[in-house]
Amino acid sequence: MAINATCESTASPPVNGGASHSLTHGANGSLASALADTGVNELLGELDRDLIGLAPVKTRIREIAALLLVDRLRRERGFSAGGPSLHMCFTGNPGTGKTTVAMRMATILHRLGYIRKGHLVAVTRDDLVGQYIGHTAPKTKEVLKKAMGGVLFIDEAYYLYRPENERDYGQEAIEILLQVMENHRDDLVVILAGYKDRMARFFESNPGMSSRIAHHIDFPDYQADELALIAQRMLDAMHYRFDDEAKIVFDDYLTRRMAQPHFANARSVRNAIDRARLRHAYRLYSHPDAATSDESLTTIAAADLLASRVFADGDTR
Amino acid sequence: MRVTQGTFSFLPELTDEQIKRQIEYCLDKGWAVAIEYTDDPHPRNTFWEMYGAPMFDLRDAAGIIQELAACRKTFPQYYVRVTAFDSTHGVESITLAFIVNRPANEPGFRLVRQEEPGRTVRYTIESYAVAAKPEGARY
Ligand SMILES: Nc1ncnc2c1ncn2[C@@H]1O[C@H](COP(=O)(O)OP(=O)(O)OP(=O)(O)O)[C@@H](O)[C@H]1O
Ligand SMILES: [Mg+2]
């Protein structure tokens, strides 16, 4: 077998960059300079800027960042306490930013050297639990291997546990997870996510899981003004804008939409904007003779919003 | 006789740390790493048994190291190797392989010379262990 092709280049594999900056200060190195070294401040700043609201979430992330940083400084001076456990649970209503924050968390933990790679593997029950006997363990282990060095994000984690079916294979996946969360803390961080009440019930039936999770973070619903800001951000990113009238109409839209069922916070905002884009495009298309200026291509007018069902419903109720 | 083959056949045994660094290197290149074992280490035997499927889409060596530990535990007296598969179009083959486990006692190979007409000699390499015992009981 001729498989010697790469032996020369493999003799000294490159060290992975990113996670391994060392904090080389004297005994008086300041926390500020250590912080600057990791570049985590920019990351936290970005988080503050990009994500509207979420004050309790941001505070907790800052606390975790501080803990990891102080831990590193302590370790360098020989005060070891063992790595902290950083498994987390994100609870909150739909569209409150749980997935978005989990992604950021992976990057932040990587910058701080807590995880080696900084990728996020997002899974749900179907990715972990098999359909037949003996199917679940290999499936779960496969996912765990992929997540090593990064973050395993389990969305709607309570579906893993189905008390109504005592033969459910979900329990098997939970047991493997429990073991890995305890024994492979250095290898991966597990973040569970879901709605608060169902998550609470899940933990009641799986106390082992609850006790392995150091950080239970609750994502509050957004206020109307926060949602308006989020809409502004989304429009900016897509090179659209509301005209003055549309801004006022959109505030009204939010108030009405928030009172309706199935309101999904920032995701509803995104959907509303997507539908407004549709109507905006169709409005332009219906008047092919009108001049298409940059202005008209980028401006969403009040009419594009007022056509929404949300306003129609408001009238009939 | 210490059987050598693969990418680092000219080197002494790699330590676990070195194995891990090599696997990291493979993953950084985007290669899929697999673990294989056999008790028939003849140089012409390209068909080693696969220990699980090749591990695609891994980012970190920890998962592979874990599999390797399990394989060594299950087959302590077998040859075990790590292979890396490069799926790049036009390459699509194993680009690196090295032995990471071997039996405690390796009886080695015998060279068999077969006389042919006209003083031609045919050579065969025959493993003492493989010739002596059936599969699964060789080392
Ligand atoms: N604070 C925020 N600022 C800006 N955009 C946000 C914010 N929170 C969420 N979004 C946007 O809202 C959308 C939905 O967010 P995300 O998918 O993170 O919600 P989720 O909590 O995971 O929802 P679900 O529970 O339904 O999975 C995304 O497009 C995201 O970019
Ligand atoms: Mg989500």
SS3 B66: helix
How many CB atoms lie under 10 A from the CB of residue B31? Answer: 23
The pTM (predicted TM-score) of the whole model is 0.82
Q: Which residue of B has its CA nearest to A143?
A: B58
The yes/no answer to whether this complex scores an ipTM above 0.85 is: no
CA end-to-end span of chain B: 13
Check residue A17 and give its pLDDT. 39
Which band of pLDDT confidence, cut at 50, 70 and 90, is reported for residue A25? very low
Check residue B33 and give its pLDDT. 97
Which band of pLDDT confidence, cut at 50, 70 and 90, is reported for residue A29? low
CB of A232 closer than 6 A to ligand 1?
no
Render pLDDT for A181-226 as a digit per residue (tens, 0 to 9): 999 989 999 999 999 999 999 999 999 999 999 999 999 999 999 9
Whether A4 and B28 lie within 8 Å, measured CB to CB: no
Distances (CA, A) of B6 to A6, B95, B118: 11, 10, 36
Q: Domain limits of chain B?
A: 16-107
Whether A150 and B59 lie within 8 Å, measured CB to CB: yes
Architecture of domain B16-107: 2-Layer Sandwich (3.30)
DSSP string, B7-38: TTTTSPPPPHHHHHHHHHHHHHTTPEEEEEEE
Using the structure block, give the residue that is written with the tokens 């009981």. B137
Amino acid, single-letter form, for residue B135: E
Pick the residue of B38, B60, B82, B125 with the most A CBs within 10 A to test the interface with A by mutation.
B60
Q: B86: which chain A residues are within 8 Å (Cβ-Cβ)?
A: none
Which band of pLDDT confidence, cut at 50, 70 and 90, is reported for residue A5? very low
CB of A51 closer than 6 A to ligand 1?
yes
- Cα B68 to Cα B79: distance, rounded to the nearest angstrom: 12
Check residue A4 and give its pLDDT. 37
Higher pLDDT pick, B99 / A50 = B99
- Cα A144 to Cα A173: distance, rounded to the nearest angstrom: 11
